[in-house]
Amino acid sequence: MTGSNGNGRARIVITGMGAISPLGNDVASTWAACRAGRSGVGPITQFDASQLPTRFAAEVKGFDPAAVLGVKEARRSSRCIQLALVAAREAVADSGLDVAAIGEDAGVLVASGVGGLEFLERATLNLHQQGVRRVSPFTIPSMIADMPAGMIAIEHGAKGPNFAVVSACASAAHALGEAAEWIRRGDATAVIAGGTEASVCALGVGSFNAMQALSTRNEEPERASRPFDRSRDGFVMGEGAAIVILEEYEAAQRRGAHIYAELSGYGATADASHITAPEPNGDGARRSVLRALDRAHATPADVGYINAHGTSTQLNDAAETRAMKAALGEVAATVPMSSTKSMHGHLLGAAGALEAIISVLAIRDQFVPPTINLEEPDPECDLDYVPNVGRAQRIDLAISTSFGFGGHNACLAFSRLD
């Protein structure tokens, strides 16, 4: 095995992972719940949602930022920054990488779809109700989407490239793919990459309600996220952060790092079609999958698992099914494809990173997590979505798809290493 993938491109591997999610406050507990098919959805506790059409979400549970980060940091930073710091700590510790020691060779690329939305909401209310003197001086640095990356770099001493990408619900997938390109072009030997989101606030939930994008199944929230099911009525908002450590393969080998998998392919495309709706025939998504497989030097027959974007919306699930049929051809019907959003909800700008971690763990354990709440499949959704119970499966290569408002598409391919 060499340091390149056969065409001179450096091989990029994952050596550490961290997560805080609606299913658990670290990677191990998140994956255990995911394997077991447990829902992380419940009534909203972070604000009074009683007047909203949707009164539930997939919240992170039992997280005390003051206890974990200190009172000062908890007071001055937005929740998306706090979650990112926690996930990055786990990922760095898991990798055993001395980030400060490599300094300028360590980059940070952490995405967020909306940044510190709850901090902005609070500042706006204070401004209008109490005047400008009650607006926190930390409002701007807490609300902007690049600050999680900046704070992670400060904490760990990463002095290489550092910024955020924003592509709505494809943000974190793009972050991982672009971070790999940083390493390939020599800008870094390791990158702390992923996504973070914390938009379960009145402004966030209310705005998605105004779009009629959210499920309103308030009587049974744990059954509300039901991708590919005939009775799906919208997605379920989630929150959390997921971070991985990406390294050049030979550098990781030299330091004796544990390698989870190779990030072997990345495809990014645009629908150029509609502001929020996916292209009905899924052509943009199809092209992102084929680009990722091409760069992984793989064929549709090599795919052992698909972690679907699978939002539980009428338009996405049907379009994604069409995209997979078009991309994989006759193989599509035989490849297990699940949407773990059925359990952890939709983490928006962080979704792609959490689902990347789940895909990597599926490869490690040779196990496909289920799509829960899939009781009566939509006739337009007729692939193998692994309904309700996970299964053992040989997986040498997994792909994870992410699509965002604005027509953004991303696909990541992960390969098992012997």
Please state, in angstroms and rounded to a whole number, the distance separating the CA atoms of residues 185 and 191: 13
- Based on the residue annotation, tell me whether 346 is a catalytic residue of this protein: yes
Q: How far apart are the first and last CA of the chain?
A: 10
Instruction: Choose, from 156, 174, 344, 346, the residue flagged as catalytic.
Output: 346
- Based on the residue annotation, tell me whether 169 is a catalytic residue of this protein: yes
Instruction: Choose, from 174, 309, 344, 408, the residue flagged as catalytic.
Output: 309
Please state, in angstroms and rounded to a whole number, the distance separating the CA atoms of residues 3 and 55: 50
Distance of CA 136 to the CA centre of its chain: 30
The pair of structure tokens assigned to 176 is 């991982």
Helix-, strand-, coil-residue percentages of the chain, each rounded to 5: 40, 20, 40
Contact by Cβ (8 Å): 109, 164: yes
Please state, in angstroms and rounded to a whole number, the distance separating the CA atoms of residues 198 and 115: 8
Sequence-distant (≥ 6) Cβ neighbours of residue 64 within 8 angstroms? none
Contact by Cβ (8 Å): 198, 74: no
**Strand partners for 408:** 270, 404
Instruction: Choose, from 34, 169, 201, 411, the residue flagged as catalytic.
Output: 169
Please state, in angstroms and rounded to a whole number, the distance separating the CA atoms of residues 269 and 411: 9
Taking alpha carbons only, the member of 118, 20, 31 closest to residue 62 is 20
Cβ neighbour number for residue 348 with a 10 Å cutoff: 31
Sequence-distant (≥ 6) Cβ neighbours of residue 105 within 8 angstroms? 160, 188, 189, 190
DSSP H or E stretch at residue 265: strand 261-270
Please state, in angstroms and rounded to a whole number, the distance separating the CA atoms of residues 88 and 316: 30
> Catalytic residues, which ones?
169, 309, 346
